[in-house]
Structure formats: C-alpha cells, structure tokens
Amino acid sequence: MKKITLFLIPALFSATLLLAQAPEGPADKGMTFGIKTTEEGAINADDLAVTLKDKESTAVKVKGEVVEVCKAEGCWLKMKTATGNIMIRMNNHAFFVPLAMNGKTIVVNGTAAIKETSVDMLKHYAEDAGKSKEEIEAITAPKKEVLVKADGILVI
C-alpha cells in the first residue's frame, strides 16, 4: 500500500502539471469547439452591444476576430470590437480552445449579457494571459463589459 501511495502522488502531480499547460493544437477553418454551430445568422461583434440594449441577457450568435486566448487552459478568449473587446468564456468549462485561435475569425454561439467583472476576476484573467506583476497590480477597479458564455465556437 505504501508503494502504491508513493507512486500515485508523483503521478497525480505530473498529471496536474500536464493539464495546466497552455493548450496546443490547430484552430483551422471549419473546426468546431463545443456544440456545433454555423455562420448563418451571426451578427458582427460591433453590433452586440446594440443587441443587448434593454435586455438582461440574450441568446446570440456573434462573429469576430480573436485578439487574446487564455494561455493557462484555453477557457476564455477576447473578441475584438471597435470600442474594446468582448470577453468570451466557455460555458461551465465544457470545452477549451487552443492558443492557435488567436488572430482567427470565429462564430460564437451562446448567451450574452453586460456584467460587472470583479477586480479579483480581472486579475485572474490577467494572470491567465501572462501579464506582468506590475500590470496585474495596476488593476484596482471592477469593469463593466459584455460577456458571452459560449456553448459552441466555429473557426471561419
């Protein structure tokens, strides 16, 4: 029993380290992550704020360019708009995306809302993105932003 325990502890530690590494793999045109979706009916990322006007949340299909991907797990990404970025998180961490998604045009199917992101969560995102200690410490106020909980992503 003691030998099994001595073997399992390092094995579990090694597995944890492997799982925490930055996601690799392709993000080629036509690939889907999560629930399969299509480009049909997708709105431009710049139009999402207008779509959310006067709504607490709404089902959306939004198209835009990825400008940042979580380097820790691939559990979130940011989509570029004319006025900033849209934060996209994978609903219930049901799937992850590779770093190769950065710079790609995608369609995201999910639920959008305007939310206030806490300082702690903003710092967590900054750590995931590989920001410097100084950049992380400079985060001192919550931020109101468009958040999409993605069920599926299509690379186009």
* pLDDT at 86 exceeding the cut of 70: yes
Domains present along the chain, CATH in parentheses:
22-155 (2.40.50)
* pLDDT at 69 exceeding the cut of 90: yes
User: What does the mean pLDDT of the chain come to?
Assistant: 89
Indicate the pLDDT class of residue 12, thresholds 50, 70 and 90. very low
Q: What is the pLDDT of residue 21?
A: 54
Q: What is the pLDDT of residue 53?
A: 87
> Which whole-number Å values give the CA distances from 126 to 80, 92, 120, 130, in the listed order?
17, 20, 10, 6
101-151 pLDDT per residue, tens: 999 999 999 999 999 999 999 999 999 888 999 999 999 999 999 999 999
* Residue 40 near residue 154 (C-beta atoms within 8 A): no
pTM, full prediction: 0.79
